[in-house]
Amino acid sequence: MIQKSHYKSGQLHNRLEDLQYQLFSGAVYIDAYLSSCSQPLSRGLILNKGKIVYGGFGIPNNQELASQIGKKLNHSWTENAIKYLTPKLQNPSSFRELLDNMVRIRVLKWEDIENIVRTQVIQVLEQTLPYGGELHSDPTVQCDLDYGNDHHGLDLYQLMQEFERRQQEWVALAPKIPSIEAIPQLSTHRLEAINDKSAQQHLQQWVDGQRRLVDIAEQVGEDPLVLARFYRVWVASGWVEFREKTSVDTELPSTEQQLPIVISVDDSPIAQAMIQRSLSDRYHLILANNATDALQLINTKAVELLLLDVTMPDIDGLEFCRIVRSIPKFKHIPIIMLTARDKFSDKLRGQIAGATHYLIKPVEPQKLLQMVEKCLEEKKSKLGNRELLQPKVPVLSNQ
């Protein structure tokens, strides 16, 4: 029986952990609702006794999976091997038996199979974890897939570590490539002026001002992060520029300097990705993963608001908040603390440290946006009232 559940932004990881603890076996269909797209991004995972063993755009059968792996490895003899081995299988639908036989006749290696599937699973997590959506779990889909001689699956903790590493690289790319959802468009240069023929051909075929980076990666069968590395070079060469896809067609301000500056201080790439997608359309968002960098930023930028995680590796959020409040020019800057700690005592400590507001993770993107807008309106109102209360300097006459 298929079970359907809704989850909020940042909660998918918890749902997958629950399935792991339940030793769930079957297919998991994920519909992630990206903030900039009305249609969900659909991806699939297969779990075997709680372990993730496959991820991709859909759920393949054993022959389709073997064919996918062969194409990734550029093995021309894979299809012939599948045709030869399939009639000999004791269980015609067995993933393990087919791949085991392909390993036995040295067409494939378990190490290569696992590496390819692992990469696909990480891409599924990367494209779905930061968003809210729907999860459909179907235990009727039976899959005996596992890896190596010890029949292991993919460890969720290790997958999340790789996900975090990749998110850090996405954050580093953000000045040139805002996100995986960003839409590349050709700059004012003519295509003929591009001196790299392979780049010219790719850009001419795929960059139309409508496709997102993730769409292009899917259609060319490439890892979005690998593709983004190429696009970073092309942006630096002046051939391509990026814009975020929005749900309306209104133009955003032409320069980031026209947007209020918000600094988000958080060492979690997952949290930063959610914040970036929630606020980057309306604010010039600057990301920092530690208090030291953030302190330097607020001293060099005209910062309007701070988003601050409580738990950080060097200086925790409460201490950083106290430091900021001790600097006279930052006495009235709005500080919103984001944390998973939801006890009254935690909120009280945040208030004592000088936080303006306190939000519990995971935060819905719309709620975060509304809170930021509210804080900035309150700041504007307070500044206006203080100006009205300032004593007027009398104008002295020379007469």
| 248, part of any domain | no
In terms of Cβ atoms closer than 10 Å to its own Cβ (0-12, 13-18, 19+), residue 192 is exposed
pLDDT of amino acid 266: 85
Q: Which of 130, 162, 194 is the C-terminal boundary of a domain?
A: 162
| 72, part of any domain | yes
Residues lower than pLDDT 70 in the chain = 35-38, 188-190, 244-258, 313-314, 342, 346, 383-399
| 132, part of any domain | yes
Peptide linkage before 313 cis (omega within 30 of 0): no
> 330: which 2 tokens?
């930052």
pLDDT of amino acid 208: 87
**77 shares a domain with 207:** no
Q: Which of 162, 192, 223 is the C-terminal boundary of a domain?
A: 162
pLDDT of amino acid 252: 34
pLDDT of amino acid 383: 66
**156 shares a domain with 193:** no
| 249, part of any domain | no
**127 shares a domain with 22:** yes
| 396, part of any domain | no
pLDDT of amino acid 43: 92
**184 shares a domain with 55:** no
**288 shares a domain with 156:** no
pLDDT of amino acid 316: 79
| Ranges of H-type helices in the chain | 12-21, 62-72, 78-85, 95-104, 110-128, 156-173, 197-206, 213-220, 224-236, 269-279, 291-300, 317-325, 344-353, 365-389
| 9: nearest Cα among 130, 124, 160 | 130
pLDDT of amino acid 38: 54
| 87, part of any domain | yes
**99 shares a domain with 218:** no
Q: Which of 162, 192, 222 is the C-terminal boundary of a domain?
A: 162
**104 shares a domain with 72:** yes
> 386: which 2 tokens?
């203080």
| 170: nearest Cα among 120, 216, 224 | 224
| 267: nearest Cα among 294, 285, 288, 292 | 288
pLDDT of amino acid 124: 92
pLDDT of amino acid 112: 95
Separation between Cα atoms, residue 329 and residue 320, nearest integer Å: 15
**193 shares a domain with 322:** no
Domain total in the chain: 3
**334 shares a domain with 236:** no
**301 shares a domain with 239:** no
| 199, part of any domain | yes
**261 shares a domain with 232:** no
Structural domain containing residue 224: 174-243
| 26: nearest Cα among 155, 143, 124, 146 | 143
pLDDT of amino acid 386: 52
**157 shares a domain with 69:** yes
pLDDT of amino acid 92: 93
| 395, part of any domain | no
